[in-house]
Chains A and B, each alone.
Chain A
Amino acid sequence: MRREAHLTGLILLIARKRLALNLVSGRFVFVTLLLLATMLGSSFVWQRRLSEQRELYEAARAKEAFAIDDARYYEQVRLGLHKPPEPLSVWASGAGELFGSSVLVSGKYGSPRITAREKFEAGSHLDAPDFSRLVILLIGLLALLLSYDTICGEREDGILQLCVAQPASRLVILLGEYAGCVVTLVTPLLLAVAAVLAIHLPTNSAALSREEWVRVGLIVLASAVFGSALIWMGLTISAAVRQSSTAFAVAFVLWVALAILSPNVSLWVAQRMRPIPPSQDSLSSDGVFGLRREGPEETASPERQVESQLRDEALRRKFEQAAVNDFLRLWTPTGAFLALAQTAARTDVESHRNFLARGRALDAQLRAWQKEKLRLYPERETFYKPSWGPLDISGLPASPSVSTGLDASLTRTGRFWAALICFNGIFAAASAVAFARYDVRFQ
């Protein structure tokens, strides 16, 4: 017990030393300020985007309700399932509306039509990184900057030789340095979280529910675990080279590879492995005058049906690409963290898949409803007489809830947690082995 207390005391001592050194270093101050500034700017942009998405969602629902009220015969009755914008998309934006956000079902009068409320115009999109991407970029960078010269830098200064000469094993020294770096990293992380909440909470019309707070907590915890993995990586590099300048170069290249290249490389590989054939409707937009023709009354035309089939095929391929991407992401800490954050925020591809499945289920329910009503009122399928009165829409299927429960999200995040913890373990073991063999002599 006394020995354990002594070891704990040593670890705390070394951790305090590392914390003190890190907090006054220029790179820590610089990256922390940069992180805060970008978090504030990005949160502001995302919050505004969320408000615009909410307006689009409300407008889509209102339009559908109005269309149902206005229907005079059964062919006109169409239903829509609309995915509400995720309040947690500020934390991890995920795929956004790339997989569609509305399913318009016509029952027996056509196949379900998947669209996105958001329109794309070249140059009109502001691609601000969300919280999770900023964590990968800046917390990841900070983690490496804090840890790359803990071993080799102290060796160059002559301090390491003195530390190892003390009655403390190398493992204890390593754990102490790690603890100091982790505590240093937690400070800017919490400041970043506070910055996002400072923008998000006052401007959010509905307060976050208890479940959403739990999800935010998961994302923040995942950020800390991700930062921890990169600190271990930095310690490994530091213990593997002699000069701190070499350690920095290696750390920087790894940061570029993990934070910038790997998310894009995995998507690029997924696109190459599951290519989407070029669509025949590449020139389908007629610009602003083409918007006039959008609407459920157009879905029955043969042209639109062919377009719809091509779009469905492209969407199916996109899901396949997403599945390949999810598999490849497990092999890097950045990919695992990003996937975890998106799953916790309900912006992952699986939530879109579930949403579209509910849309198809709604289509089946509408078909059954149409069959029943047309059995009772066969003459009102495509014809209307004012003397018949309003259309009987009793029993019309209601749009089901589209949100994913917390339990389902927690289950899905299991493998990503496992991957992050594995990375921590692997790098921790590597750094311990490298440090155990390290020549600590000053010259």
Chain B
Amino acid sequence: MPHQTRTPRSAGIVRMIAEHTVLGNLYDLRFTFSLLVVLIICAATAMLSVSNVQERHRESAALSQQANHTANLENRKLVLSTPSLSFLFDGQEDRLPKYVIVTPDFIDYPIEDISARPMIEPYIRVDWAFIVIYFYGVLAILLTFDLISRPRESGTLAMVLSQNVSRGIFFLGSYAGAFLTLGPAVLLGLLIYSLVAHLHGERASTAGEAGQYVAAFVLSLLYMSAVALMGLAASAAFRKSASALACAFLVWASLTIVLPAGASICSNLIAHVHSFNDLNTRIGSARARYLSRLPAVWSMDVERILGQPGLTQQGKQEAIARYQQEILEKDAAAIEGYKREVREQRADYLAKLKARDRLESQLGIISPAEAFQQAVESALGTGMKHWENFVRSAETYEPAYTQYVTEKRSQLTEKANFEGFIMEVSGVRVRSVGWIDYRSVDFDRKTLPPFQELKPSIRANFVTAVPACVVLICINGLLGLFALWAVRAGRVL
């Protein structure tokens, strides 16, 4: 019975403190001014983001057309499309390759000359996630850094706790009040963002996409909650509000900016990938080996065949034809051996890059901002997740392309570009081939097997978002426990 009477009373006190906190925030000029600025930034960011996405759509369409036109029997380029909700979170798609190169038995990525890159790499994203992490994050800290320290400074905390209100209840009420202030602020921001995007032609067109919007909102709230708990913990740990503010900002900046950078450096040190120059050197060695395996065409061999006693003219022609066939077979074997070595080296290099990237995202996930980004990326199917799905689609397509190319090459061998030389000895011509290039062979491109990008279902996207979401919830839990401990252990007066 005492427990039953205590619970409604505790709930009532929590509600009272939460209401007081919410009202205090709403009347605080600092909060209302900051929120107004954030909402304006939401609208501006939405316009910029939509403009970027639409530009990327156009570029992707133009590149796809160009890729279809330039597909050949050496390779086919498959262009990355732009996912529908990437204006919410684009996952730095500008830094990802725009296309993959499908060759027989291998999928490669483009290698660009760095002088062809733009001056600024768009590594500061302009999207909803950017607003949540940087602007709403700062807002959450401004809201919560003095929720405990200011009542302590003014003496109110002592009076409240003397009313038989436990510190835990006070903390819970303050947290609830902060959450109830930030939640509607985030919702308002997302509504403005969506409205501006809608007016510029980007919107959720299916129920599934609407569900993804809701997922982005829920994940934003989880992130905001983590930052609010950071602010509350700092507020409880420091006596002066200014010190609490400085600490909260430093912790936020460390977790948001420094920790991901540290994860990148650590992953580079732990899972070091040999430089591209090293790969180039290995490919150079493979090339030297392939050149040494190319058979030499000697005039004395040809003369020896022609000078064989007892051979008729037809016999000589057949002998020369056999010699030629032997040369071409050895040429083809050397070329194939080189290609195999290059594929192995390249595949090894790409696998190491992938392992390093995976380690980086695993190390960085302890940052709430990184966990939030990974969860949103998975839920929306944009950024790296979109890229991984695209590569899987290309891997599914590659066997069909290989089969098609093998058949076509056998039909159109004579039209290929044979790099090498022809030696003429005593009126007989023998060819030595250093490389066979099918790029310029003309064929009907409409007969190429069609490429279909596999788009995972919304449900599959949500499932892949679960681990990052769980990490975000755990971060909330840990920060909450720490904040609670700080409140319980801190001085009241």
A289 to B70, CA, bound (A): 16
A175 touches B (CB below 8 Å): no
CA distance in complex: A315, B124 (Å): 24
Residues of chain B at interface, number, CB under 8 A? 70
Which residues 117-169 of A sit at the B interface, judged by CB distance below 8 A? 118-124, 126-129, 145, 149, 153, 156
Min CB distance, B254 to chain A, in Å?
A: 7
Bound form: Cα–Cα A129–B99 in Å? 28
Q: Which residues of B contact A239 (CB under 8 A)?
A: none
Give residues 253-281 of A contacting B (CB, 8 Å).
Answer: 253, 256, 260, 264, 267-268, 270-271, 276, 278-279
Q: Does B426 contact A (CB under 8 A)?
A: no
Q: Which single member of B95, B115, B346 contacts A98 (CB below 8 Å)?
A: B115
* Chain A residue contacts of B264, Cβ below 8 A: 126-128
Whether the Cβ atoms of B357 and A278 lie closer than 8 Å is no
Contacts of B118 in A (CB 8 A): 271, 276, 318
Check B115–A285 contact: CB distance below 8 A: no
Q: In chain A, residues 78-101, which have Cβ atoms closer than 8 Å to a Cβ of chain B? A: 95-101
Inter-chain contact A98/B114, CB cutoff 8 Å: yes
Shortest C-beta distance, B29 to chain A (Å), equals 11
Known A27-B250, A123-B353, A252-B249; contact A285-B119, beta-carbon cutoff 8 A? no
With contacts A59-B277, A291-B280 taken as known, whether A249 is within 8 angstroms of B346 at the C-beta atoms is no
Given contacts A282-B66, A292-B287, whether A311 and B109 have CB atoms under 8 Å apart is no
| Chain B residues within an 8 Å CB radius of A282 | 59, 63, 66, 98
Residue A392 at the B interface, CB < 8 A?
no
Structural contact, A124 and B276, CB atoms closer than 8 A: yes
Q: Mark B246-274, 1 if CB is under 8 A from A, else 0.
A: 11011000100010011011001000010
Per-residue CB contact flags for chain B residues 114-158 toward chain A (1 = under 8 Å, else 0) read 111111110110000000001000100010011000000000000
Q: Are A97 and B276 in contact (CB under 8 A)?
A: no
Picked from B77, B145, B268, the residue with its CB within 8 Å of the CB of A245 is B145
Docked pose: A55 CA to B281 CA in angstroms:
11
CB atoms of A96 and B114 under 8 A apart: yes
Which of B116, B258, B353 has the most chain A CB atoms inside 10 A of its CB?
Answer: B116
Q: Determine how close the nearest CB of chain A comes to the CB of B136; give it in whole angstroms.
A: 14
Whether the Cβ atoms of A30 and B250 lie closer than 8 Å is yes
**Nearest neighbor of B273 in chain A, beta-carbon distance:** A124
Contact B112 A126 (CB under 8 A): no
- Could you tell me the distance between the alpha carbons of A270 and B119 in the complex, rounded to whole angstroms? 10
Q: Verify B70–A38 contact, CB threshold 8 A.
A: no
CB of B228 within 8 Å of the partner chain: no
Q: Are B99 and A126 in contact (CB under 8 A)?
A: no
| Given A52-B275, A282-B63, A283-B70, also A121-B115 (CB < 8 A) | no
Note all chain A residues with C-beta closer than 8 A to B99: 283
A19-48 vs B, CB cutoff 8 Å, 1 = contact: the mask equals: 000000011001100100010011001000
Query: Does B108 have its Cβ within 8 Å of any Cβ on chain A?
Result: yes
Instruction: Report B41 CB to chain A, min CB distance, Å.
Output: 12
| Interface pair A41/B111, CB less than 8 Å apart | no
Of A27, A120, A264, A271, the residue contacting B114 (CB under 8 A) is A120
User: What residues of chain B lie closer than 8 Å to A181, measured between beta carbons?
Assistant: none
Instruction: Report B68-110 residues with CB < 8 Å from chain A CB.
Output: 70, 74-75, 77, 79, 95-99, 101, 103, 108-110
Task: Kindly report which residue of chain B lies nearest to residue A138, judged by CB atoms.
Answer: B258
Q: A41-B262, A122-B96 are in contact. Are A116 and B66 (CB under 8 A)?
A: no
A315:B115 contact, CB within 8 angstroms? yes
Q: Do residues B342 and A285 form an inter-chain contact, with CB atoms below 8 A?
A: no
Please judge, given known A-B contacts A95-B119, A291-B280, whether A249 and B245 are in contact too, CB under 8 Å: yes
Contact A128 B265 (CB under 8 A): yes
State in angstroms the CA–CA spacing of A243 and B265 once bound together.
39
Point out the residues of chain B lying under 8 angstroms from A99, CB to CB: 115
B407 within 8 A of A: no
Given A55-B277, A245-B146: A321 and B119 interface contact (C-beta under 8 Å): yes
Evaluate contact between A120 and B112: CB separation under 8 angstroms: yes
Within 8 Å CB of A34, what residues of B?
Answer: 254, 258
Chain B: which residue is nearest A325 at the CB level?
Answer: B119
Cβ of A283 and Cβ of B113 under 8 Å apart?
A: no
What's the least CB distance linking B478 to chain A, in Å?
A: 20
Contact B123 A287 (CB under 8 A): no
B187 proximal to A (CB < 8 A): no
- A99 to B97, alpha carbons, bound, how many Å? 21
Knowing A245-B146, A245-B241, A291-B280, the reply to whether A116 touches B103 (Cβ < 8 A) is no
Q: In whole angstroms, how far apart are the Cα atoms of A59 and B77 in the complex?
A: 31
Give CA–CA (A277, B320) in the complex, Å.
Answer: 55
- Residue in contact with A288 in the complex, picked from B111, B112, B146, B249, CB distance below 8 Å: B111
* Contact present for A287 and B95 (CB under 8 Å): no
Quick one: closest B residue to A157, CB to CB?
B240
Report the minimal beta-carbon distance from B236 to chain A, rounded to whole angstroms. Answer: 16
Kindly list chain B residues whose C-beta atoms are within 8 Å of the C-beta of A123.
95-96, 353, 357
Q: Are B119 and A98 neighbours in the complex by a CB distance under 8 Å?
A: yes
With the chains together, A275 CA to B51 CA distance in Å? 15
Q: Is A351 an interface residue (CB 8 A)?
A: no
Chain B residues contacting A55 (CB-CB under 8 Å) are 277
Answer yes or no: A322 CB below 8 A from chain B CBs.
yes
Given contacts A276-B118, A285-B112, contact A248 B245 (CB under 8 A): yes
Bound together, the chains give a CA A120 to CA B94 distance in angstroms of 13
Please report the C-alpha to C-alpha distance between residue A96 and residue B138 in the assembled complex, in whole angstroms.
34
Question: A353 → chain B, closest Cβ, in Å?
Answer: 14
Complex CA distance for A160 and B26, rounded to whole angstroms: 33
Is B242's beta carbon under 8 Å from chain A? yes
**B38 proximal to A (CB < 8 A):** no
Question: Considering the complex of A and B, which 7 residue pairs feature the smallest CB-CB distances, nearest first?
Answer: A287-B108, A285-B110, A244-B242, A116-B115, A267-B120, A100-B115, A116-B114
List 21 interface pairs A-B (beta carbons < 8 Å), by A numbering. Answer: A30-B250, A31-B250, A34-B258, A41-B265, A116-B115, A116-B116, A118-B276, A120-B111, A120-B113, A121-B112, A126-B264, A248-B245, A249-B245, A253-B138, A271-B119, A276-B118, A287-B108, A287-B346, A288-B279, A289-B108, A321-B119
Could you list which residues of chain A lie within 8 angstroms of chain B, going by C-beta atoms?
Answer: 26-27, 30-31, 34, 38, 41-42, 45, 52, 55-56, 59, 95-101, 114-116, 118-124, 126-129, 145, 149, 153, 156, 243-249, 252-253, 256, 260, 264, 267-268, 270-271, 276, 278-279, 282-283, 285-292, 311, 314-315, 318, 321-322, 325
Q: A42-B265, A119-B114 are in contact. List 10 more A-B contacts (CB 8 A).
A: A38-B258, A59-B277, A121-B112, A122-B96, A123-B96, A123-B357, A128-B264, A246-B30, A247-B242, A285-B110
